[in-house]
Amino acid sequence: AGSFDRVLLDAPCTGLGALRRRPEVRWRRTAEDVAPLADLQRRLLDSALASVRPGGVVAYVTCSPHTAETVDVVAAAARRDDVEVLPVAPLFPEVPDLARGDAAQLWPHRHGTDAMFMALLRRTR
């Protein structure tokens, strides 16, 4: 706990952002899958934040564009008084239309990628 400078959390998710490459996902997922995964993602993000030292950064990444698995999970962590969300878009100036608030959202139709989401969270103390 509190010993890492950086942690990458590639969170388990519905995988809906990879439909372009894996269309069978649409038949394996239901609306009921989202809430338990979002709960797990929040718990994993809390654990990742506990793993970084003050000043350390957690990159939270999913292959889902679903708000419950992306911005809602980050918003829950951002409500903590020891977390600051860092803007991602300035780190990728060559990627147009990347910003989703302070986070980044890639889209198949805009970026030619899976629908990947990334947020950076700094533990302030």
Q: What DSSP line would sit under 17-63, residue for residue?
A: GGTTT-TTHHHH--GGGHHHHHHHHHHHHHHHHHHEEEEEEEEEEES
Write out the H or E segment, with its range, that includes residue 117.
Answer: strand 117-123
Residues placed in the known binding site for S-adenosyl-L-methionine = 10
Binding site residue list: 10
| Catalytic member of 13, 58, 63, 74 | 63
Active site residue 63: yes
- Active-site amino acid positions: 63
